[in-house]
């Protein structure tokens, strides 16, 4: 493991979103962060669509499931990021 950490700009991803959203460039950002071999913190996340519901940076487990899919796990959430920059959020407890 490399020392330090990586901060990943999540580009305003809403962790309460019920449907897939396109977030331009997010797959490449995940690839870049993953390739460092460092722990990852995601920032610029939202809890709801209101601009006043920003979150502090969150630690994420970033996994490359395939050449077309990254999964970022954070607390009880699984965030799927495809190579087409499609993002879906799933609860791991429901």
Specify the 3-state DSSP secondary structure of 65: strand
Predicted local distance difference test score (pLDDT) of residue 51: 65
What's the domain range around 44? 6-91
Has residue 50 been placed in a domain? yes
Has residue 56 been placed in a domain? yes
Has residue 87 been placed in a domain? yes
Report how many domains make up the chain: 1
Strand order in the sheet with 6-9: 6-9, 40-43, 58-66, 69-74, 77-82, 86-91, 21-22
Tens of pLDDT along the chain (94 residues)? 678 999 999 999 999 999 999 999 999 999 999 999 999 999 999 998 776 677 899 999 999 999 999 999 999 999 999 999 999 999 999 7
pTM for this one? 0.91
Predicted local distance difference test score (pLDDT) of residue 74: 93
Has residue 17 been placed in a domain? yes
Has residue 1 been placed in a domain? no
């Amino acid at each position: 493991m490399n020392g330090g950490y990586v901060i990943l700009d999540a580009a305003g991803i809403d962790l309460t979103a019920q449907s897939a959203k396109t977030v331009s460039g997010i797959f490449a950002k995940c690839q870049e962060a993953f390739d460092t071999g460092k722990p990852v913190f995601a920032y610029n996340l939202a809890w709801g669509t209101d601009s006043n519901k920003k979150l502090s940076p969150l630690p994420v487990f970033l996994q490359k499931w395939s050449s077309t899919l990254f999964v970022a796990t954070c607390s009880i959430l699984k965030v799927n990021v495809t190579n087409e920059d499609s993002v879906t959020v799933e609860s791991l407890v429901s």
